A and B are shown apart, each in its own frame.
Chain A
């Protein structure tokens, strides 16, 4: 007992603070949580989130810079206020608020109705050819409670000052009028070598009734 006491005393400073020798990994086996930021939380780092409630637009105006190579937005249960609309996004540079970057993109989708009819193919009125409109992220969405859209948008290397910025998006949901499952795949490039710093989301018409958008950085 005396030997343990003497050893323990060697692990204490004169101010009564415990030194590294007093702890090992096993000392913390019963610890199940620590304060946010106290330890690394893996490669995907939470940056920001927005919970939507009758919002015309949702802007992410900070956190997109050279810290990460890839940024991922998850949009979850986006529910429009207006029937038969499209969830969409655009981008801007610096502190600009025009959200009208030049984009060339593709759009194709697989659809499967609850009545068992199916469609698959390229959809030309959902893409852009050097356009400055908002990027359409789903085929269509209704405002019934069983309709809406969820999915992700990935931006690759948006802070690169030499090359254009590529993006990939995929969404799923029950389409307008209960038209069934829609798997929409969208990809393209923002045709500017200027760093992209901000993203705006909105519906093609009316407000976003409810939903959540979360932004992560990939280290």
Chain B
């Protein structure tokens, strides 16, 4: 009877619950609010490199989102002049050798101001190749070097279309004469109509010494 009286005190006219009827414990079983927006970007996974041969993202890429974004923060390689590169695969395959055609261009500006250019670098792109896609090129192993950037993949779960991607990054490239700020842009497509489910990031030589890669879904 006393419980009923207490409950009655937590009801308004019209039998609507007052705020005193509910506390955090009351809703501890609630895991979602269907009508409340959860934001446009959802963090799906984080990989932290520490002398890592590669970083693989093998789950979370499916039909839930139309596009996915990787943020690469302060990628630092163990081997001088190596490249941060990536490839993708389908299903549970681990070959990471999908057919790719892509562009690659970069702006370079060095610290002594003797170099300031923007141009295509045909040596770093692919034409129906199956190699890893060169992204952050000629990253050096010194502490003031490294690179950060973004890769976006569109519609990876499509089974009728190829999978376009865009990437942009900036590298601190150690050069014997004068260090270089290098802004790299890539764009291309994985030439497959099979759904892409996984990505691998590695160094063209040696390990990834340090860095954090985060995967987001874009709703």
Contacts and interface: CB of A to CB of B under 8 A. Distances in A.
B78 to A, nearest CB: 14
A18 B21 contact: yes
Contacts of A117: none
Nearest to A160: B74
Contact of A32 (B20, B36, B117): B36
B109 A69 contact: no
Interface stretch (B3-11, B51-59, B157-165, B189-197): B3-11
Interface string A121-151: 1101001111000000000000000000000
A29 B7 CA distance: 23
B14 interface: no
A20 B74 contact: no
Given A17-B23, A129-B110, A157-B74, A104 B179 contact: yes
Contact of B33 (A39, A154, A167): A39
B39 interface: yes
Contact of A164 (B20, B30, B38, B146): B146
Contact of A106 (B34, B43, B108, B212): B108
B30 A166 contact: no
A44 B71 CA distance: 13
A167 B7 CA distance: 57
Interface stretch (B88-96, B121-129, B147-155, B198-206): B147-155
A185 B183 contact: yes
Contacts of B40: 42, 44
A89 B97 CA distance: 42
B3 to A, nearest CB: 5
B181 interface: yes
Contacts of B137: none
Contact of A187 (B3, B36, B183, B210): B183
A84 B103 CA distance: 34
B172 A164 contact: yes
Contacts of A191: 144, 172
18 contacts: A15-B6, A18-B17, A20-B25, A23-B22, A28-B33, A41-B37, A41-B38, A43-B216, A44-B39, A127-B116, A157-B212, A163-B74, A163-B210, A166-B172, A168-B170, A187-B181, A189-B181, A193-B143
Given A19-B25, A39-B33, A189-B181, A129 B143 contact: no
B7 A16 contact: yes
A143 B100 CA distance: 45
A104 B21 CA distance: 59
A124 B146 CA distance: 24
B143 A39 contact: no
A89 to B, nearest CB: 15
Contacts of B170: 106, 166-168, 187-189
B115 to A, nearest CB: 9
Nearest to A188: B181
A185 B109 CA distance: 13
B29 interface: yes
Interface string A30-42: 1111100001111
A12 interface: yes
A127 B118 CA distance: 12
B83 interface: no
Contacts of B36: 31-34, 39
A69 B183 contact: no
Give 6 closest A-B pairs by Cβ, nearest first.
Answer: A42-B39, A16-B6, A156-B148, A187-B183, A129-B113, A106-B107
A155 B33 CA distance: 32
Nearest to A27: B30
A14 interface: yes
